[in-house]
Amino acid sequence: MNRAIAAALWLGLSVLTASPALPGEPGDAVFAERGPWSLEGKDLNWTVHVEGPDAPGFLPVDAGSLTLTQVTDPSDRQPVLQLVQKTDTRTRQIGPFPISGGDPVLTFFLEQTTRDMARLTGGSPFYIRNRIKEAIFGGGQIDRGGEESVASFQPFADDPNAARMGGFQTLTLTFVLGDPAQPIRELRAQTQGAEPGYVNRMVLQ
């Protein structure tokens, strides 16, 4: 998927060996074209675990889940995608998303990380979102080994506001990838050093 479409969707909303990455290559791997989706009753499920310091509006999740499912749009009877989020206390539906569009799960993960960071730091979600997009579309590292690749990004490592980020200047976004056309196997956002730290981890089942 080209970067303009990826950005638009987000705003809508074995031993690994390191290899040098061309500019944008890790981001291209994360935002690889995975559509058109054809689930045909075979829902995709990710476990979800979110933890971090106490703050107003922040929702930790001990044993949640996110399901990508295919449903019928009642307005035109065409297939669309829908996310079902389950936390420790609630269930909600998110969508619809187009069958031929980008990756709704990736969009959900990045937006949740953005909003969590904004709540925990008091920072602007617009600034945070833009910094994350810049890091994914323009930098990062990709490590390859066997049938897996791991793309990682540190969007705030050199940020001029790092001193006011409460540990989020150490945030690393990590994506465990298999076949580019297949769903992302693991999505993880994690800070280092500061206690209690922030973790947002989703694992495909």
pLDDT value for 24 = 61
Q: How confident is the model at residue 76 (pLDDT cuts 50, 70, 90)?
A: confident
> Between 71 and 1, where is the model more confident?
71
pLDDT at 20 over 70: no
pLDDT value for 22 = 42
Q: How confident is the model at residue 149 (pLDDT cuts 50, 70, 90)?
A: very high
Q: Are 3 and 27 in contact (CB under 8 A)?
A: yes
Minimum mean pLDDT range among 3-17, 48-62, 173-187: 3-17
pLDDT at 21 over 80: no
pLDDT at 153 over 80: yes
Rounded Cα distance, 6 and 48, in Å: 23
Q: Give the mean pLDDT of 21-36.
A: 78
Other C-beta atoms within 10 Å of 87: how many?
A: 17
Average pLDDT of the residues of the chain: 86
Distance from the first to the final alpha carbon of the chain: 24
pLDDT value for 39 = 86
Q: Give the mean pLDDT of 186-194.
A: 91
Alpha helices (runs of H) in the chain, residue ranges in sequence order: 3-11, 25-30, 104-121, 125-138
Q: How confident is the model at residue 8 (pLDDT cuts 50, 70, 90)?
A: very low
